[in-house]
Structure 1
Amino acid sequence: MNRISVDIGGTFTDCFFVWDDAYVEAKALTTHHNLALGFNEALDIACRRAGLDRTEVLSKVDSVRYATTLGTNALIERHGPRVAALVTHGFEDTIPLSRGRGYGEGLDPAMQQNLPAAERPEPLVPRHLIRSVRERVNSAGEIVVPLDELDVRQQVRELVDNGAEALVVSLTNATENPEHELRILEIILDEYPPHELGAIPVLLGHQVSGRKGEYVRATSTIVDAFLHEIMFHALGQLANNLRDSGYDKPMLVIHNSGGMAQMNSTDALQTIHSGPIAGVGAAQHLSRETGIGHIIATDMGGTSFDIGLVPEGGVKHYDFQPTIDRWLVSVPMVHLLTLGAGGGSIASYDRIHKGIKIGPESAGSDPGPACYDRGGLRPTVTDADLLLGYLDPENYANGFIALNPKRSIFAIEEMLCDELDMDVLDVAKEIKRGVDEQMAIGIGKELRVRGYLPEDFTMLAYGGNGPLHACGIAERAGIRRILVPPFASVFSACGAGNMQPLHIHEQGAHVVLYNATNRSLYDRYDEFNVIVEGLEAKGREDLVRQGYDEADVRHRLEMDMRYGNQLVTTAVVFDVNRIHRVGDVLHLIRTFSEIYGERYGKGSEAPEAGVRVQTIRVASYVEGDTVKFESLDHVGERTTPAPVSAREAHFIGRAAPLLTPVYDASALSEQYVIAGPAIVTTENTTYLVEPGWRLEPTPQGAVWFLRDDTDPAKEQ
């Protein structure tokens, strides 16, 4: 297996390089003006470590895979084209009204309840760029009012004349009958042929989302259109760079559904959060191979802190109507909670609470934290870590970046010391305490709202800053076991290398498996199977078009189900794809009840209220080779290695600094144990063992952080 996997983050570009049986990791600063430059630098570092030439590698690898947060950042910064929308006559205000809840989507519960201060987000489609066309299709897919084609031409002309740079067509009930949307596309291409219209994209709602619901389907398509241009040019730039370097295969892009596809089979919307979700995929793979039980996956990079949940058995949680930024969309996406807290997060003074606020604004890679000495003037989490003694100024990022403590002192003194009436080190401690508490609160909420207890979970800490803050976060979250996985600093890039080619197609449906009113079971088997077969055909077509053998395509049936008139639906994965008899229907009901009971507690199942299906979904995929994770077990005695040096470090709850031994990467061998306080500095990250914790390495580079009263032999 020869494979290159890349995760382009807001601060660093991570590269995970597999060449036969060798695994190589490398990092470089993200070059936002041209992502290809950062990729080339990271790959050059990996190739040098492997003793290979970049051109030779790119001519021989079987695939290059990209995960990126580019779309996420573009949406947050509102960098995109002027999007216009065509809707059914009478539905012109559906998008602006946003179900009457637009002020709250994407905000935390406290902000959602603050009605006097509620503000709707700046619309991606201004009201004057929303036009309606005369047509109507009913909920059964029957055409009630034929499409007025002259009206369509008039509305499209006016939108283009008003500066529209992307067109969205989202008509009522188009998922039941897309005839009018398809005809509008033909009219647009006839009215403005591609050679005249240029690169302006035209997106159809029913092709972006197959589920019912005019508003969420429209917002999904609008977000997709808003990101289309920037993703097209950025990914095109990366693809051209690969071709210029001798790579002649299609470039693969990681999707937020947990799969990947070629660039020509990727919607911009599918790239949102793809980097962190690749890390959740790697956590799922690690869980399956090692059997370590419940995992809370945490990725602390330079810009954000991402939390993913992988319960025992390696099954990820999905959001089927996730909120992206401030917009509710209807695309299947692996569940992820993102906090604006990373190594580059800026610490500022909160005048209301008279304390320190961490993030969400980040210094990024340019100019970066003040200590990078590249023009940054505001204090960050990394500046605090440096002054507290955790980071080595001469050996940060393998010496790639020399840190300047004087800049950190200046930034903290200028921005925070006078406001807080504290000295520099006390402020640095407050920054460390604040960021750890912020992330611990996020973990606690994520687990408890789903019915889990933090003490039942192993915290997976990865990303460039994961091992540095892991002990502080876990201490406050009530977690007693931390695992820093193999390839921790580039774990999301490693996950991208494990992704399977996958496409998810879905269709809104109203299937009553058990009708409580007349006590009857569903018996329209052929109708159900036709829907599943159609969704399988779409997935198979996607994969065959990308060059995969039809015989290798596999399908997985999933459905959104609920009891009676419950508002909450539960996504259920099944081990059968067809129903032919009563026993098959009962099997679907039984599977749903088992999953419902596991999630909400045994005895909460209520099949007597009726069992309904809201959405039928088929995941089509092709299995492939994956990175192998070795056992986490260790047999034999452990000894303490000799430190290479020592320095004073400051810890929360300790008034005086502690003389802390410092180790290099050779200490991360499975025969060693290191008691805190201690610091282990490696090429790509720093391991901080806080007082009360100990560090125990395992084979392949994974590392346990354990409370001193924890017996790993009992808990593994």
Structure 2
Amino acid sequence: MKRISVDIGGTFTDCFFAWDDLYIESKSLTTHHNLALGFNNALDNACKRAGLTREQVLKEVDSVRYATTLGTNALIEGKGPRVAAIVTHGFEDTIHISRSKGYGEGLDPIKQGDMADAERPEPIVPRNMVRSIKERIDTIGEVLVPLQKEDVREQVRELISNGAEAIVVALVNATENPEHEQLVLETILEEYPAHELGSIPVILSSQVSGRKGEYVRAKTAIIDAFLHAIMFNALNQLSGNLRTSGYEKPMLVVHNSGGMAQSNSTDALQTIHSGPIAGVGGAQHLSESTGIGDVVTMDMGGTSFDIGLVPEGGVKHYDFHPVIGRWLVCVPMIHLNTLGAGGGSIASFDRIHKAVKIGPESAGSDPGPACYDRGGLYPTVTDADLLLGYLDPENYANGFIKLNPKRSRFVIEEQLCDELDLDVIEVAKIIKRSVDEQMAIGIEMELRSNGGVVEDFTMVAYGGNGPLHACGIANQAGISKILFPPFASVFSALGAGNMKPLHIHERSAYVVLYEPLSRTLFDEYDRFNGYVEELEKKGREDLVRQGYDVEKVEHGLELDMRYGNQRVTTSVALDINRIENVGDVLHVIRTFSDIYADRYGKGIEAPEAGVRVQTIRVASYIDGEVVRFDELEYAGERTEPTPVTHRKAHFVGEDKAVETPVYDATALSEKYVVHGPAIITTESTTYLIERNWRIEPTPQGAVWLLKDNATQGSAKKS
């Protein structure tokens, strides 16, 4: 296997380089003005260690895979084209009414309850950029009012005259019959041929989402159109850079569905959160191959802190109506809870609560934290970590970045010490405790809201700042086992390298598997199987178009199910792809009941209320070679290594500085155990071991961080 996988984050560009049996991790600062430069720097660092040139590697490598947060950042910043929308006559205000709940989407529960001060987000499509056309298709796909092309031409001309740079077509019931949306596209191309209209994209809602719901489907297409040009230009820039260096294969892009595809088969919306989701995918593979039980993932980079869940057995949690920014969309996306708390998160004084506030603003990579000495003017979490003695100013990021503690001290004293009437070390402790507490609360809420018991979970921590804050977060959350996987500082990039070529297609379908009034079971097998075959065909065509062998395409069937009229649906992954008889119907109902009971509690299943299917979903994929994870437990004898030096460090909850042993990467050998307080500095990250914790490395490069009497392995077993 020869593979390059890259995670382009807000602060660092991470690279995982697999060359046969040689695995190398590499980092560089993200170059936002030209992402290719950061990629080249990270790849050059890896090639240098492998004794190869970039040109040699790119000529021989099997694939190059990208995960990026570029789309996420663009949406947050609100920088994008002027988007217009064409809708069915009479539905001109649907987008802006937003199901009456638009004011609260994307906000925390406290702000959602503050209806008196509620403000809707600035719409991506202004009301004067919405036009309607006279047409109508009913709920079963029959044409009630035919579409007139002249009507379309008139509305499109007005939108173009008003400065439209992208057009979304979202017509009623287009999921049941996309004929009218396709006619609109055909008419636009007749009126404005590609060479005349230029790069203005036309996005059809029926192609972006197969689920019913006019508002959420339209909003999904709108966000896709908003991000289209940004992602198109960025991916073209990266692709062009690869071609210049001799790489001739298609570039692959990681999707937030947990798979990947060529860039020409990628919607812009599918790239949102793709970097952190690649890390969850890596954790899923780790859980499946090593049996470590229930996992909560913690990815702390320079800009954000991302939490994911992987229950025992490796089944991922999906959001099928995720909120992206302040907008509800309907794309299947691996569930992720993102907090604005990373190493570069800015610490500011909250005058209302007279306390330190962490994030969501970040110093990013340019200029970066004040200690980077590149013009940063605000105190960050990294500045606090440096002053507390955790970081080595001369060996941060393998010596590529020299840290200046004087700058950290200056910005913290200037902006926080006077306000809090405390010395700089006490303020740095407050910053450390605040960010750890913020992230611990996020983990606890995530686990409890999904029916998890905190004590049953192993925290898998990765990202450049994960090993530095894991102890503090676990102390606050009540977690006693932390696993740093192999190549923890670039684990999301590693996860991107393990992704499968995958496409997910879905459609709304009202299927009653058990009708309680008549006490009958579903028997329209041909109708159900027809839906599945239609979705499988779409997935198969996607993969074959990208050059994959049709014989290697596999399919997995999932259903969104509920009891009776419950509002909450549960996603059920099945081990069959067709329903052929009563036995198959009962098997589906039984599988649903088992998953429901496991998530919400045994005995509360309610089949007597009826069992219904809301959505049918097919994942089409190609299996391939992956980086293997071996057993993560080691029972051999261990001794204490000899520290390379000592330095004074300050810990939350301790009044005085502690003379702390400092170790280098050689301490991460399976023959050693390191008890806290201690610091281990490696090329790519820093491990902070607090009091009452210990580190136990494994032969495969993973590292266990255990509290008191906790032991390696699944949290449920100890």
Alignment TM class, shorter chain as reference? over 0.9
CA-to-aligned-CA distance 1:581-634 (integer Å, 9 cap, x gap): 111111111111111111111111111111111000000000000001122111
2:414 matched to 1:414? yes
Give the letter for the 1:453 counterpart: V
The aligned counterpart of 1:81 is 81
> Which whole-Å CA distance do the structure 2 matches of 1:630 and 1:55 have between them?
32
The aligned counterpart of 2:126 is 126
Pairwise mapping of residues 81-480 of structure 1 onto structure 2 (< 5 A)? 81-480=81-480
The answer to which of 513-522 and 263-272 deviates more is 513-522
The answer to which of 706-715 and 88-97 deviates more is 706-715
TM-score, scaled to structure 1: 0.99
Q: Secondary structure at the match of 1:398?
A: helix
The aligned counterpart of 2:671 is 671
The aligned counterpart of 1:542 is 542
The aligned counterpart of 2:533 is 533
**Displacement of 1:700:** 2.0
Give the letter for the 1:161 counterpart: S
The aligned counterpart of 1:65 is 65
C-alpha contact (below 8 Å) 1:630/1:699 kept by paired residues: no
Q: Secondary structure at the match of 2:640?
A: coil
Give the letter for the 1:194 counterpart: A
CA-to-aligned-CA distance 1:458-505 (integer Å, 9 cap, x gap): 111100000000000000000000001100000000000000000000
**Displacement of 1:570:** 0.4
Q: Secondary structure at the match of 1:486?
A: coil
C-alpha contact (below 8 Å) 1:509/1:613 kept by paired residues: yes
Q: Secondary structure at the match of 1:604?
A: coil
Q: RMSD of the alignment, in Å?
A: 0.8
Q: Secondary structure at the match of 2:518?
A: coil
Q: Secondary structure at the match of 1:507?
A: strand
**Displacement of 1:392:** 0.3
C-alpha contact (below 8 Å) 1:96/1:127 kept by paired residues: yes
> Which whole-Å CA distance do the structure 2 matches of 1:711 and 1:504 have between them?
39
> Which whole-Å CA distance do the structure 1 matches of 2:484 and 2:468 have between them?
10
> Which whole-Å CA distance do the structure 2 matches of 1:304 and 1:527 have between them?
45
C-alpha contact (below 8 Å) 1:344/1:363 kept by paired residues: yes
Q: Secondary structure at the match of 2:700?
A: helix
> Which whole-Å CA distance do the structure 2 matches of 1:635 and 1:354 have between them?
49
The percentage of counterpart residues that share the same residue type is 74
> Which whole-Å CA distance do the structure 2 matches of 1:394 and 1:174 have between them?
60
Give the letter for the 1:378 counterpart: Y
TM-score, scaled to structure 2: 0.99
C-alpha contact (below 8 Å) 2:172/2:214 kept by paired residues: yes
> Which whole-Å CA distance do the structure 1 matches of 2:626 and 2:346 have between them?
37
Give the letter for the 1:78 counterpart: G
> Which whole-Å CA distance do the structure 2 matches of 1:415 and 1:702 have between them?
40
C-alpha contact (below 8 Å) 2:105/2:323 kept by paired residues: yes
C-alpha contact (below 8 Å) 1:105/1:328 kept by paired residues: yes
2:549 matched to 1:552? no
**Displacement of 1:282:** 0.3
2:632 matched to 1:638? no
Q: Secondary structure at the match of 1:502?
A: strand
> Which whole-Å CA distance do the structure 2 matches of 1:432 and 1:463 have between them?
17
> Which whole-Å CA distance do the structure 2 matches of 1:710 and 1:605 have between them?
35
> Which whole-Å CA distance do the structure 1 matches of 2:671 and 2:35 have between them?
41
**Displacement of 1:452:** 1.1
The aligned counterpart of 1:15 is 15
- Equivalent residues, number: 716
> Which whole-Å CA distance do the structure 2 matches of 1:675 and 1:613 have between them?
53
**Displacement of 1:279:** 0.1
C-alpha contact (below 8 Å) 2:292/2:713 kept by paired residues: no
Give the letter for the 2:475 counterpart: E
2:683 matched to 1:683? yes
The answer to which of 102-111 and 341-350 deviates more is 102-111
> Which whole-Å CA distance do the structure 1 matches of 2:145 and 2:710 have between them?
70
> Which whole-Å CA distance do the structure 2 matches of 1:498 and 1:508 have between them?
30
> Which whole-Å CA distance do the structure 2 matches of 1:584 and 1:12 have between them?
49
> Which whole-Å CA distance do the structure 1 matches of 2:445 and 2:190 have between them?
53
C-alpha contact (below 8 Å) 1:121/1:326 kept by paired residues: yes
> Which whole-Å CA distance do the structure 1 matches of 2:674 and 2:552 have between them?
47
> Which whole-Å CA distance do the structure 1 matches of 2:246 and 2:377 have between them?
41
**Displacement of 1:692:** 1.1
**Displacement of 1:455:** 1.1
CA-to-aligned-CA distance 1:65-85 (integer Å, 9 cap, x gap): 000000000000011100000
Q: Secondary structure at the match of 2:399?
A: coil
**Displacement of 1:713:** 7.2
C-alpha contact (below 8 Å) 2:632/2:713 kept by paired residues: no
> Which whole-Å CA distance do the structure 2 matches of 1:429 and 1:692 have between them?
19
The aligned counterpart of 1:27 is 27
> Which whole-Å CA distance do the structure 1 matches of 2:689 and 2:162 have between them?
60
**Displacement of 1:711:** 3.4
2:695 matched to 1:695? yes
Judged with a 3 Å threshold, the aligned counterparts in structure 2 of structure 1 residues 117 and 713 are, in CA distance, closer, same or farther, namely: closer
The aligned counterpart of 1:498 is 498
Runs of 4+ in 1 over 6 A off after TM superposition: none
Pairwise mapping of residues 556-705 of structure 1 onto structure 2 (< 5 A)? 556-705=556-705
C-alpha contact (below 8 Å) 1:71/1:271 kept by paired residues: yes
C-alpha contact (below 8 Å) 1:385/1:391 kept by paired residues: yes
The aligned counterpart of 1:706 is 706
**Displacement of 1:36:** 0.2
> Which whole-Å CA distance do the structure 2 matches of 1:108 and 1:148 have between them?
45
C-alpha contact (below 8 Å) 2:633/2:712 kept by paired residues: no
CA-to-aligned-CA distance 1:405-453 (integer Å, 9 cap, x gap): 0000010011101111111000000000000000000000000111111
The answer to which of 106-115 and 702-711 deviates more is 702-711
Give the letter for the 2:449 counterpart: V
> Which whole-Å CA distance do the structure 1 matches of 2:709 and 2:650 have between them?
23
2:36 matched to 1:36? yes
Q: Which runs of 5 or more residues in structure 1 are unaligned?
A: none
> Which whole-Å CA distance do the structure 2 matches of 1:653 and 1:531 have between them?
60
The aligned counterpart of 2:518 is 518
> Which whole-Å CA distance do the structure 1 matches of 2:709 and 2:547 have between them?
54
Judged with a 3 Å threshold, the aligned counterparts in structure 2 of structure 1 residues 11 and 249 are, in CA distance, closer, same or farther, namely: same
C-alpha contact (below 8 Å) 1:5/1:16 kept by paired residues: yes
The aligned counterpart of 1:6 is 6
> Which whole-Å CA distance do the structure 1 matches of 2:679 and 2:51 have between them?
30
Give the letter for the 1:432 counterpart: K
Give the letter for the 1:129 counterpart: M
C-alpha contact (below 8 Å) 2:296/2:309 kept by paired residues: yes
> Which whole-Å CA distance do the structure 2 matches of 1:713 and 1:456 have between them?
11
> Which whole-Å CA distance do the structure 2 matches of 1:599 and 1:708 have between them?
30
> Which whole-Å CA distance do the structure 1 matches of 2:481 and 2:535 have between them?
42
